[in-house]
């Protein structure tokens, strides 16, 4: 079922110009994708929603656009050269490669799904009188599965924290975890694999010229901390936000745009007084969850998950997970990174990266709380929640509709003259010219009106207007709503105001304050 939905979303994305495999005429490039005409618009609107809510709505946050290439020492200081590894394991029979930690997590998710099912069944049976807490304490199936999860977790978390690769393998063997493709349990050793891509700078190919494609945008912010603080006269607490490409040579890159080798991140690093980081961590956690829920994709589609293993730089970290077709998975991370990064850059560069706090009358290396979201994963949350197949009308006819939040939809309105003749095209063209100053508008006069409506539903256009013969007499058009398919007659003079009410970014941002 879930697999089906993912396949349908991939096919739909391609058919309607959202996402194409990279270099498709050469059979594609693994885990690299291109955004088509509609995808580029949706992506741009997601960026805008993020940027405006983070930078425009927070007067103490400013933007940055740092280069992808950075001095190689940056990645030594950040710990990426030494520790940006994933544990890799191969199946000897199927020759398939996996991340050992992901294999174990997916195995654990099966027990979690069993508990979820048990709870769902009981909720249905007992209705309003159902007591979740009591059920978790007493139901033997839930208790048994929870016990298995707890035992597994204890070993797993310890193995991750100790970087114990042999123990990771042993967990896979002891739990009889099989290769998802072949069912084989014939595993190799677990090895560490560094995820950074490297290349050469300039024409002399000695090792001194090896540079990396950045695996995260954050370091561009850290190395510019002082530049921005000084030139922007920023006072702590303040933040620097950035949207940009990141590159990771992922071991297993499946599941469409969920895990890519080239992707985009939207990150914000918030610099705070040492000791105040947990307060800001809570603030940003709450704000970021609000940002997601404000899109109304369904509040039950989000979960938060505290990290099993904290990264070398963090003292607290939480994932915001979304209910993708493959189950709940991370879409965003909020991390309290202590003063690790700035201290390390201070050490490696020999330059002071401190802040003089006039209220405390002392200098310190600021602490950092970051919010880090994958733009492509965010794109996928929207597609996953928006894709719907609906039966319309009495004769079993179906439609595919993308109920994309209107402010993010690629096109806000489609202008459809009922027929080309009788001067309708000319009237429609006039309306088009007026509306395009305000919104991204599509003009279409080919095919029957029914077919044109379906095409707009399939790309998520919230409104269609039809210009008919009556329009010439009464200066009014038919406005059709995407989600309800309801139609109303509306004066051309009221169009901009009515549509704006629903599709403007301002409306969406208002939900955050």
Comparing CB distances to ligand ATP, the nearer of 260 and 385 is 260
Task: Specify whether the backbone of 202 is left (phi greater than 0), alpha (psi in -120 to 50) or beta.
Answer: left
Site track 266-305 with ligand ATP (rule: CB under 6 A), x = hit: ----------------------------------------
Backbone angles phi, psi at 457, to 5 degrees: -60, -40
Do the Cβ atoms of 122 and 135 come closer than 8 Å? Answer: yes
* Among 18, 49, 50, 263, interactor with ligand ATP by CB under 6 A: 263
Residue 374 binds to ligand ATP (criterion: CB under 6 A): yes
Binding of ligand ATP by 43 (CB under 6 A): no
323 binds ligand ATP (CB under 6 A): no
We find the least distance from the C-beta atom of residue 147 to ligand ATP, in angstroms, to be 26
Minimum CB–partner distance for residue 101 and ligand ATP (Å): 9
Residue nearest to ligand ATP (CB): 374
Nearer to ligand ATP, 332 or 457 (CB): 332
- Contact at 8 Å (CB) between 342 and 365? yes
Q: Which of 373, 404, 435, 508 binds ligand ATP (CB under 6 A)?
A: 373
State which residue, 377 or 412, has the beta carbon closest to ligand ATP: 377
Q: Is 259 helix (H, G, I), strand (E, B) or coil?
A: coil
250 is a site residue for ligand ATP (CB under 6 A): yes
User: In whole angstroms, how close is the CB of 377 to ligand ATP at the nearest point?
Assistant: 4
Q: What is the rounded distance in angstroms from the CA atom of residue 230 to the CA atom of residue 246?
A: 27
Q: What SS3 state is found at 424? A: helix
> Does 87 participate in binding ligand ATP (rule CB under 6 A)?
no
What is the nearest approach in angstroms of ligand ATP to the Cβ of residue 245?
11
Total binding residues for ligand ATP by CB under 6 A?
A: 16
Out of 142, 213, 260, 467, the only residue in the binding site for ligand ATP (CB under 6 A) is 260
Binding flag, residue 333, ligand ATP (CB under 6 A) = yes
3-state secondary structure of 198: strand
> 491: buried, middle or exposed (CB in 10 Å: 19+, 13-18, 0-12)?
exposed
CA nearest to 196, candidates 100, 266, 262: 262
* The only residue of 175, 372, 403, 466 in contact with ligand ATP, by rule CB under 6 A: 372
Closest CA to 408 of 488, 509, 328: 509
Do residues 239 and 64 lie in contact, with contact meaning Cβ atoms separated by under 8 Å?
no
The span from the CA of 107 to the CA of 114, in Å, is 12
Q: Round to whole Å and give the CA distance between 128 and 119.
A: 13
Q: Does 376 bind ligand ATP (CB under 6 A)?
A: yes
CB atoms within 10 A of CB 307: 16
Is residue 461 at the binding interface for ligand ATP, with CB under 6 A as the rule? Answer: no
For residue 82, give the H/E element and its range. helix 80-83
Q: Does 383 bind ligand ATP (CB under 6 A)?
A: no
The nearer residue to ligand ATP, 83 or 360, going by C-beta atoms, is: 83
By CB under 6 A, tell whether 331 contacts ligand ATP: yes
Q: Counting contacts by CB under 6 A, is residue 265 touching ligand ATP?
A: yes
List the one residue from 43, 345, 377, 412 that touches ligand ATP (CB under 6 A).
377
Half-sphere exposure at residue 232, Cβ-oriented, CA atoms within 13 angstroms: 18
Shortest CB 213 distance to ligand ATP, Å: 13
Q: Where do the H-state alpha helices sit in 232-349?
A: 277-293, 340-349
CB 241 within 8 A of CB 61: yes
The site map against ligand ATP for 180-219 (x = CB under 6 A) is ------------------------------------x---
Binding test (CB under 6 A) with ligand ATP, winner from 248, 285, 337, 344: 248
Element (H, E) at 334: strand 327-338
Q: Is 332 in the site for ligand ATP (CB under 6 A)?
A: yes
Place of tokens 């409104």: 463
Q: What are the residues binding ligand ATP (CB under 6 A)?
A: 216, 248, 250, 259-260, 263, 265, 330-333, 372-374, 376-377
């Amino acid at each position: 079922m879930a697999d089906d939905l993912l396949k349908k979303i991939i096919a739909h994305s391609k058919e309607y110009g959202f996402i194409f495999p990279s270099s498709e005429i050469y059979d594609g490039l693994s885990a690299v994708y291109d955004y088509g005409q509609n995808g580029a618009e949706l992506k741009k609107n997601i960026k805008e929603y993020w940027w405006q809510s983070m930078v425009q709505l927070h007067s103490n946050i400013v933007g940055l656009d740092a280069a992808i290439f950075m001095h190689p020492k940056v990645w030594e200081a950040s710990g990426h050269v030494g520790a940006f590894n994933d544990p890799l394991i191969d199946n000897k029979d199927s020759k398939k490669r996996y991340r050992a930690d992901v294999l174990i997590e997916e195995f654990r998710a099966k027990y979690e799904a069993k508990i979820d099912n048990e709870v769902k069944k009981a909720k249905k049976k007992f209705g309003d009188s159902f007591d979740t807490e009591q059920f978790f304490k007493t139901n033997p199936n839930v208790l048994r599965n929870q016990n298995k999860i707890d035992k597994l977790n204890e070993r797993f978390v310890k193995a991750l924290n100790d970087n114990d690769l042999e123990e990771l393998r042993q967990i896979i063997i002891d739990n009889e975890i099989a290769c998802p493709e072949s069912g084989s349990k014939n595993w190799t050793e677990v090895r560490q694999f560094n995820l950074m891509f490297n290349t050469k700078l300039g024409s002399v190919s000695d090792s001194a010229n090896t540079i990396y494609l950045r695996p995260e945008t954050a370091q561009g912010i850290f190395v510019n901390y002082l530049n921005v603080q000084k030139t922007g006269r920023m006072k702590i607490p303040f933040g620097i936000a950035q949207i940009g490409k990141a590159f990771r040579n992922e071991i297993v890159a499946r599941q469409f745009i969920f895990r890519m080798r080239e992707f985009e991140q939207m990150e914000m690093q918030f610099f705070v007084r040492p000791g105040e980081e947990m307060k800001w961590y809570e603030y940003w956690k709450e704000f970021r969850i609000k940002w997601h829920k404000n899109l109304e994709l369904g509040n039950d589609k989000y979960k938060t998950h505290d990290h099993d293993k904290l990264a070398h730089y963090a003292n607290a970290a939480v994932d915001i997970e979304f209910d993708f077709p493959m189950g709940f998975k991370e879409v965003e991370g909020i991390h309290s990174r202590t003063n690790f990064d700035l201290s390390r850059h201070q050490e490696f560069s020999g330059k002071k990266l401190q802040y003089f706090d006039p209220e405390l009358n002392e200098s310190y290396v600021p602490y950092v709380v970051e919010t880090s979201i994958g733009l492509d994963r965010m794109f996928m949350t929207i597609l996953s929640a928006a894709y719907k197949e609906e039966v319309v009308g009495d004769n079993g006819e179906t439609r595919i509709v993308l109920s994309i939040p209107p402010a993010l939809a690629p096109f806000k309105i489609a202008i459809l003259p009922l027929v080309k003749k009788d001067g309708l095209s000319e009237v429609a063209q006039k309306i088009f010219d007026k509306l395009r100053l305000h919104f991204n508008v599509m003009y279409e006069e080919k095919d029957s009106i029914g077919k044109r409506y379906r095409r707009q539903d399939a790309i998520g256009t919230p409104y269609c207007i039809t210009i008919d013969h009556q329009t010439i007499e009464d200066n009014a058009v038919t406005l059709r709503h995407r989600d309800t398919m309801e139609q109303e007659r509306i004066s051309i003079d009221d169009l901009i105001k009515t549509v704006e009410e629903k599709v403007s970014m301002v409306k969406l941002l208002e939900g955050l304050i």
